[in-house]
């Protein structure tokens, strides 16, 4: 009989809840800036126009990247300093 009672007591025991561990906050790593690479065809086209002015002008200034033979047409829109460097 004793053995039978012991078994009943074991069944009635509640399971203990596991304690949740607190997660440590990870420090955010600073992202390194990637160097621009010319992998796509579009980027290669932009570089060709940029190299007219010795590669100093960025791709933003596309209106200034004009080949030397057409400089005279665009005198009104371009800087005189830029014209003197490239066209003369």
Task: Give the span between the Cα atoms of 60 and 53, in whole angstroms.
Answer: 13
For residue 53, CA distances in Å to 1, 9, 23, 61, 67 come to: 101, 90, 55, 11, 10
Q: What is the pLDDT of residue 57?
A: 47
Query: What does the pLDDT profile of the chain (88 residues) look like in tens digits?
Result: 555 666 666 666 777 888 888 888 888 888 888 777 666 666 666 555 554 555 444 444 445 554 555 555 555 555 666 555 555 5
For residue 49, CA distances in Å to 12, 44, 83, 88 come to: 82, 9, 15, 18
Q: What is the pLDDT of residue 21?
A: 82
Cβ atoms within 10 Å of 4's Cβ, excluding its own = 7
Q: What is the pLDDT of residue 25?
A: 84
Task: Give the span between the Cα atoms of 39 and 52, in whole angstroms.
Answer: 21
**pTM higher than 0.75:** no
């Amino acid at each position: 009989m004793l053995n039978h009672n012991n078994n009943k007591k074991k069944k009635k025991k509640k399971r203990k809840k596991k304690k949740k561990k607190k997660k440590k906050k990870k420090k955010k790593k600073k992202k390194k800036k990637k160097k621009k690479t010319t992998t796509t065809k579009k980027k290669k086209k932009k570089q060709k126009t940029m190299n007219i002015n010795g590669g100093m002008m960025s791709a933003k200034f596309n209106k200034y990247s004009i080949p030397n033979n057409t400089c005279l047409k665009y005198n009104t829109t371009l800087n005189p300093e830029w014209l003197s460097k490239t066209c003369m």
